Structure 1
Amino acid sequence: MLLENIVWDARDPHRLGTFWASALGAEPFTDEPEGFEARMMLTDEAFLDLCFQRVAEPSRSPARLHLDLRGGARQQEVVGRLLSLGAEHADIGQGEVPWVVLADPEGNAFCVMEERAAYQATGPVAALPLDSADPDRDAAFWAAITGWVPWAGVDGVATLRHPSGAGPLLEFCPEPEPKSGKNRVHLDVRRSADEGDVTERLVEMGASTLSGYEGLPWRVFADPSGNEFCVLDPPRQQA
């Protein structure tokens, strides 16, 4: 399995998707009424797809996964550009901090980070912080299902990264409260062509299965801390 998608629930996939594609320099490849997708290249071969799926009403539960964008010495310039694309300043109780908190056009909070050595070569997305009840346990779980490897990130934060050393850090942060409700942003992994049903393996590792998505080319699970993720079917063989 490999980490492939960052997925947003959206009332308006086109509007939200075009914002994030412009913000991150991603190339759109699907723009339909029910979904928008854009590809963010990490290397010449490695990528993350940004996927926006229509829902009637996104969850109002506290966010457990968000994006930290690289700002560094250009932090205010990056903030200004994002505001021009449709972001707004947001107050989530952060107080006096060196990063800037913004919200995208549908109210999803994200951060533009100050200069940090760990984020110098990440590209536009510095990190993907994910709330966890047990960061070391969850880092080991996600390493096993994504192919990403442990990485020396911010001091004291359990961290993974694509094995090429490119792209954002996946950070596991102690949760401020137990999970309640559905995540508005989640991750997808894809099975390789030689992998069969991985349900038993994932459950043995601490995942749980979720229902309600029968008949679709993916299965939905929750990690040991309850964060949803999808396992996509293997890619179709080229004719």
Structure 2
Amino acid sequence: MTLELVQVNFKAGDDSALGRFWAEALGWGASSEGPGVTNLEPVGFDWPDPSAVCVDLVRVPDPESVRYRVHLELATASDTHRAGLIERLGDLGAMPVGVGQGDVPWTMMADPEGNVFTVLEPRELYRDTGPIAAVVVACADPRAMVRFWGEAVGWTVHELTDDRALLRSAQGVGPFLEFRRTPDDKVVRSRIHLDVMSDPVGDQLKEVARLERLGATRADVGQGDVSWIVLADPEGNEFCVLGRG
């Protein structure tokens, strides 16, 4: 197995502006590989590495038409850190949102383009993940999803119930990948999807064939002639297998 979860991909109306928000939110550096693309990663980071799942923001003509089932959860180290982060995010342009979550210890917010994310209360589980505690995927069957994604990227299962599954890099670093059972009417949709990459990159087609044997299917999202291959996991969540740019 040579596949790595390397980044989450935001579809954005203005990748530069949204990139500035998320760079400030995460305390990361920003760069660009070309017009309409903003790349975020920890300062001094040697990409790719399991210690972080990076962020790519790609400008699209109509981001409102793009809806995925993925959102980010941000870690905090203390109640003071959490309160300060929420205030700073508000100053950067984020807004609190209500999605019927009731009285809970975490705070739901939306970034300046409306992508919903969560600022968590301090949790021991996430004390060493970096600023992103978890990448959360809404799903109907966490057990089935963890079977596919655990095999796909070789991550270790940390929790597995009918309602929630947690995976993390086998090296025990970086954020968690969480699959959360969510009724369709409670799904917080966003413009974020997962990107994976083979190592070496030349194994892209070999890895795509392996993913198809695991239950992935080819997907057409109008991507045209590009270096990446778009697949859908067994619940139809689209993701990209990156190739040489």
Does 2:92 align with 1:85?
yes
Secondary structure of residue in 2 paired with 1:190:
strand
1:192 — aligned with what?
199
Secondary structure of residue in 1 paired with 2:84:
helix
TM-score, normalised by the number of residues in structure 1: 0.87
Q: Deviations over 1:143-185 (max 9, x none)?
A: 22223221249996311112221221111101312999x9610
Aligned equivalent of 1:76, options 83, 90, 94: 83
Q: Return closer, same or farther for 1:117/1:52 CA change in 2, 3 Å cut-off.
A: same
- Structure 1 position 62, deviation (Å): 6.2
Secondary structure of residue in 2 paired with 1:114:
coil
Q: 1:75, 1:154 → 2: CA distance?
A: 28
Q: 2:204, 2:86 → 1: CA distance?
A: 44
1:4 — aligned with what?
6
Secondary structure of residue in 2 paired with 1:129:
strand
Does 2:214 align with 1:233?
no
Give, as a single letter, the amino acid of the residue that structure 2 aligns with 1:57. Answer: D
TM-score, normalised by the number of residues in structure 2: 0.85
- Structure 1 position 29, deviation (Å): 2.2
Q: Return closer, same or farther for 1:99/1:93 CA change in 2, 3 Å cut-off.
A: same
Secondary structure of residue in 2 paired with 1:195:
helix
1:49 — aligned with what?
54
- Structure 1 position 3, deviation (Å): 0.6
**Equivalent residue runs for 1:114-193 within 5 Å:** 114-152=121-159, 157-177=164-184, 184-193=191-200
Does 2:111 align with 1:111?
no
Q: Return closer, same or farther for 1:136/1:80 CA change in 2, 3 Å cut-off.
A: same
Q: Please report the RMSD computed on the Cα atoms of aligned residues, expressed in angstroms.
A: 2.8
CA contact (8 A) 2:141 2:162 kept: no
Figure out how many residues of one structure are paired with residues of the other and give that number: 234
Q: Deviations over 1:177-213 (max 9, x none)?
A: 2999x96100100012262513332222111111232
Q: 2:87, 2:161 → 1: CA distance?
A: 26
Secondary structure of residue in 2 paired with 1:215:
coil
Q: Return closer, same or farther for 1:139/1:155 CA change in 2, 3 Å cut-off.
A: closer
Identity %: 38
Secondary structure of residue in 1 paired with 2:225:
coil
Unaligned runs of 5+ in 2: none
Does 2:225 align with 1:218?
no
Moved over 3 A (4+): 40-47, 59-63, 152-156
Q: Return closer, same or farther for 1:90/1:179 CA change in 2, 3 Å cut-off.
A: closer
Does 2:20 align with 1:18?
yes
Q: 1:178, 1:202 → 2: CA distance?
A: 29
- Structure 1 position 68, deviation (Å): 0.8
